Chain A
Amino acid sequence: MDTDALLQVKDLYTWFELRRWGFARVGYVRAVDGVSFELYPGETVAVVGESGSGKSTLAKTILGLYRPTRGEIYFAGKPVHQMKAAGLKEYRAKVGYVQQDPFGALPPFMNVRRILEEPLIVHGVRDRVEREQRIHRALEDVKLVPVEDYLSKFPHQLSGGQQQRLVIARAILLEPRMIVADEPVSMLDVSVRVEILELLRKIQQEYNLGIIYITHDLSTVRHFSHRILVMYGGKVVERARARDLVRNPQHPYTQALLAALSDPRAENAHTLKPVPPGEPPSLLNPPPGCRFHPRCPVRIEGLCEREAPPEVETPQGAGHKALCWLYHERGEKKEEVAM
């Protein structure tokens, strides 16, 4: 086990039982299907992928909101997957959660002070003065200043960006060591997205936090994370340092994703984008073999549709890995045979 790691996820599976009429089991939705990674203090790991690829499920399993079907989660060496109520509560103070929809994430009937008091009360901070001090500090950290102007406001009286800063204030209130941010900016305006992400980065540097940044937006990931995991159909199909992944995507899916993204340039209007055909796989009946093979432009016949690829080191090295036969010796051999 990696002793430096803040969080270690080992071969994690979260499957949802799907029942018809409440009892007849139809099958399992394999939302998270064998995910492993580590997060170090002060590091941001981005998880990117399309809708339904299992990003949120991964986040919630890490937060202890879902029990993993199989696999292990260690936080600072302690096994989260085995924790009972008391241990889980202690763990939850150490992990902050930032959700996608800031307005929905705030109880609409509480004002800012009450919202921030809640976690403190839950974790037994009895002293009013201490609570007040910690609330002030958190609001200052997220730049909701002057603090007094905000304490008695209700969520609907704040702008989207301010709401999300309040959510972040709540996430850092208990002095966590890790933050799980599930699409923290996708509901916000372009002009404030960067502000929120920079705020998160600043807080990370100040408190040496580990951040799991979940998003479907590859363009922000490049600027605001250290490492990237690309998820497809419940599996991590590629992982690399942020810059390497964006510059030299190795998995055909990542390549397609990046090709579909445009920078704002007038020339874009003149060309069509290459887009792989088909739709993301069903998690209930995933395709056999590689999950991307039905859409893959470079699939190896006879291999990709039969056997699920292992995770292999790509020629890029430096921990740049892909879940793809192309970079496996068997795949290379096949290709030669095919030619």
Chain B
Amino acid sequence: MSINGFLQVQDLSLHFRTLQGIVQAVDDVSLTLGKGRTLAILGESGCGKSSLAKAILRLLPRNVQAYRGRIVLDGLDTMSLPEERFRKEVRWTKIALVPQAAQNALNPVVKISEQIAEPLLVHRRVGQKSEALERAREAARVVGIPADFLERYPFELSGGMRQRAAIAMALASRPDLVVLDEPTSALDVLTQANLMNVFKEIKRAFGTTFILITHDIATASELADDVAVMYAGQIVEQAPASEFYHAPRHPYSQKLMASVPTLREEKSPEFIPGQPPSLIDPPQGCRFADRCPARFSRCAAAPPVVELSPGHTVKCWLYEEGYHGH
């Protein structure tokens, strides 16, 4: 793991209190991300992807039971900041979030241009409204919103355009890191491709660092430099995209890849039998063990994180030093 990552997350946990028990939505997650790179976080629904995003932005609901770990962004230990400073100096300023289903979360009675300018004004990044609107216009141009759409209201736009507006909102404050939570899942194929093009261009032009949260492995491949696979609240594999898409190592990653129907290759997709464990009282050992085809005796204990090559780690007993049984 490269030590001098732009973003370093260490042993981050976020647990929720519910009537049924404690939900370990994010459990001891560690990640590294270099500047200007894009990390795709892949995982099934409910594995804790959005919670991880919230934990990074410290957008915590009221029923948090535990929130701990270390997040270092560009040398700044953000977890140790008091809330007020975090809000002023980090959220939207350094890290911006495009939340899940953002296209449906726009304020229906505010014009698109003002909507995009809103965070700038709220966070006092700029003094004047005219300046904020200017920045908003620029951000809108970057994400490909035609100028005449800026004076419209959200309901007058298609889902794709609204999503672009939500992205422009995040980009307008020129953050160092943009967290995209399922930015394209609810959109059509063509709109989706279009947006991925937009992200690629932004990345190329501004060197923005992205965290792309998605359950769609094919879409993730469009943007990812690195891939992290999340399963039941934990990261089970992190790897450079080239290595990951070529040969995923964790059995879950392998199964997940095999479940994607391909358009151009002959192989038939397979499914993963069973279902993920509950995040309330998850298994003590490997959380994937009871669905894993390569399960063996050691899986009853929590697996170690093994570094296979620089930047490629796997949380699995199969790759433990001295064991070569697979």
Contacts and interface: CB of A to CB of B under 8 A. Distances in A.
Given A160-B45, A192-B271, A269-B222, A260 B189 contact: yes
A194 B259 contact: yes
B192 A260 contact: yes
A262 to B, nearest CB: 5
A265 B271 contact: no
Contacts of A161: 275
Interface string A13-27: 000000000000000
A266 B246 CA distance: 8
Contacts of A266: 221, 224, 241-242, 244-246
Range, interface on chain A: 35 or more
B269 A223 contact: yes
Interface stretch (A37-45, A76-84, A146-154, A271-279): A271-279
Interface stretch (A213-221, A300-308, A324-332): A213-221
A272 B271 contact: no
Given A257-B190, A264-B218, A266-B241, 4 more contacts: A189-B215, A219-B261, A264-B220, A276-B190
Contacts of B259: 190-191, 193-194
Interface of A is mostly: helix
A272 B222 CA distance: 9
A296 interface: no
Interface string B224-259: 110000000000000001101110000000011101
Given A194-B270, A266-B245, A269-B241, A50 B219 contact: no
Nearest to B269: A194
Contacts of B1: none
Interface string A238-263: 00000000100000000011101111
Q: Which 4 pairs between the two chains have the least Cβ-Cβ distance?
A: A260-B193, A195-B271, A266-B245, A194-B271
A195 B265 CA distance: 19
A261 to B, nearest CB: 6
Interface string B75-118: 00000000000000000000000000000000000000000000
Given A190-B256, A190-B260, A198-B271, A263 B265 contact: yes
A264 B221 contact: yes
Contacts of A3: none
Tell me which of B44, B190, B192 has the highest count of chain A C-beta atoms within 10 A of its own C-beta. B190
A190 B217 contact: yes
Contact of B218 (A51, A198, A222, A261): A261
A246 B266 CA distance: 12
Nearest to B42: A190
B261 A265 contact: no
B217 A191 contact: no
A268 interface: yes
A216 B189 contact: yes
B97 to A, nearest CB: 22
B271 A275 contact: no
Interface string A149-167: 0000000000111000000
Contacts of B244: 266
A75 to B, nearest CB: 30
Contacts, number: 121
A258 B160 CA distance: 19
A274 to B, nearest CB: 8
Contact of B216 (A160, A190, A268): A190
Interface string A272-290: 1101100110000000000
Interface stretch (B27-35, B172-180, B194-202, B310-318): B194-202
Nearest to A50: B188
Interface residues of B, number: 49
Interface of A: 50-51, 159-161, 189-195, 198, 216, 218-220, 222-223, 246, 256-258, 260-266, 268-269, 272-273, 275-276, 279-280
Nearest to A272: B197
Contacts of A262: 218-219, 221-222
B272 A218 contact: no
Interface in B269-297: 269-273, 275
A263 B264 CA distance: 7
B205 interface: no
Nearest to A278: B190
A273 B197 contact: yes
B48 interface: no
Given A191-B255, A269-B221, A159 B275 contact: yes
A122 B273 CA distance: 35
B263 interface: yes
A282 to B, nearest CB: 11
B190 A50 contact: yes
Nearest to B248: A264
Tell me which of B219, B246, B259, B263 has the highest count of chain A C-beta atoms within 10 A of its own C-beta. B263
A233 to B, nearest CB: 13
Nearest to B40: A269
Nearest to B44: A189
B221 A246 contact: no
A103 to B, nearest CB: 12
Contacts of A195: 271, 273
B223 interface: yes
A265 B221 contact: yes
B18 interface: no
Contacts of A218: 189, 263
B94 to A, nearest CB: 24
A304 B246 CA distance: 44
Given A190-B256, A264-B257, A266-B241, A51 B188 contact: yes
Contact of B197 (A257, A275, A280): A275
B132 to A, nearest CB: 28
A264 B217 contact: yes
Tell me which of A194, A195, A216, A257 has the highest count of chain B C-beta atoms within 10 A of its own C-beta. A194
A50 B159 CA distance: 12
B222 A261 contact: no
B4 interface: no
Contacts of A220: 261, 269
B184 to A, nearest CB: 11
